[in-house]
Amino acid sequence: MEVFLGIDVGSVTTKFAAVDEEGRLLTSLYRRTGGEPIQAVCEGLAQMGKQLPAGVRVLGVGTTGSGRQLAAAIVGADVVKNEITAHAIAALHFVPDVRTVIDIGGQDSKLILLRNGIVVDFAMNSVCAAGTGSFLEHQAYRLGMTVEELGQRALRSNHPVRIAGRCTVFAESDMVHKQQMGHPMDDIIYGLCQALVRNYLNNLALGKTLEPPIVFQGGVAANAGVVRAFREALETEIIVPPHHEVMGALGAALLAREWSDSQPSRFKGFDVAQAEIQATSFECRACPNLCEIAQIRMDGRIVARWGGRCDRWEVM
């Protein structure tokens, strides 16, 4: 079997996807990064090797996400792309005429506008946790329920209360206040989902036209309450594609498939987890920019450097 791998390394989760030559998803993996991206990539790659048939041949590897350079250095990636490109490619794979992509992950959120299959505009918020999956997860934990239960209870709401969603601290205080006032928990939870959607639309979508078809992907797309809130706010159908939680990795795998064209892959193999990997950095003093250069050593040998404004130290 011949496959293409995609790896999406985020601050909260790390995702893997393997597709065949027709672009069909063969297997995927969704796991916590846990503040250890190197370990997450190595262990995830080893697990993917076990999930795929023995003797599988990897023709190309793509990486994306905030840790894409790190993952590329570890596994030997052929394609390194930003999250906007990867998510757009994945959305087009399932909905060829998609015009709006809403992506909400654990620590950031993205809005991508496409016309005729081309990205024409995008916005990204990675500086505030309000309106992301980690915020919902924290509130679910505080209320003693799972994130899945949080979404299902939001569907039971008939009279949602308004929750201040501009800031995670204010939102939590407002939820506690509404609980003390005696509002039903289902209405408070759905009010939280509406606050998340309101925050997203007021920040990322401000001044932009969100035209259907609209695809909602990322981990938060599993929350039925947030899907309902988007549907009501935008007054249109919201498409949640299959495998929505690994769309970044899927897009990276599809980009690797496009790259292939008989070029030999730089993939280092599924047993890369056995290598001794060290990540360090240093400050370049060659000019006043004082760039911080990240570098990766594998078994004592430098395999990658990046982070400078020029290519003085670049190695990949």
- Do 102 and 234 fall into the same domain? yes
Radius of gyration (C-alpha) of the chain in whole angstroms: 21
Count how many domains the chain has: 3
pLDDT for position 261: 67
Q: What is the mean pLDDT of residues 263-286?
A: 85
Residue pLDDT, tens place only, 45-89: 999 999 998 888 999 999 998 889 889 988 989 999 999 999 999
- Do 143 and 64 fall into the same domain? no
In a domain, 92, yes or no: no
- Do 67 and 179 fall into the same domain? no
Domain that holds residue 308: 276-316
In a domain, 93, yes or no: no
In a domain, 269, yes or no: yes
Helix residue spans in the chain (DSSP H)? 37-51, 68-75, 83-94, 133-142, 147-155, 168-181, 185-203, 224-234, 247-259
Residue pLDDT, tens place only, 277-288: 888 888 988 888
In a domain, 112, yes or no: yes
- Do 56 and 105 fall into the same domain? no
- Do 183 and 258 fall into the same domain? no
For residues 178 and 12, what is the distance between their CA atoms, to the nearest angstrom? 30
pLDDT for position 146: 81
SS3 category, 182: coil
- Do 45 and 76 fall into the same domain? yes
- Do 312 and 194 fall into the same domain? no
- Do 127 and 202 fall into the same domain? yes
Q: Which of 240, 258, 293 is the last residue before a domain boundary?
A: 240
pLDDT class of 262 with cuts at 50, 70, 90: low
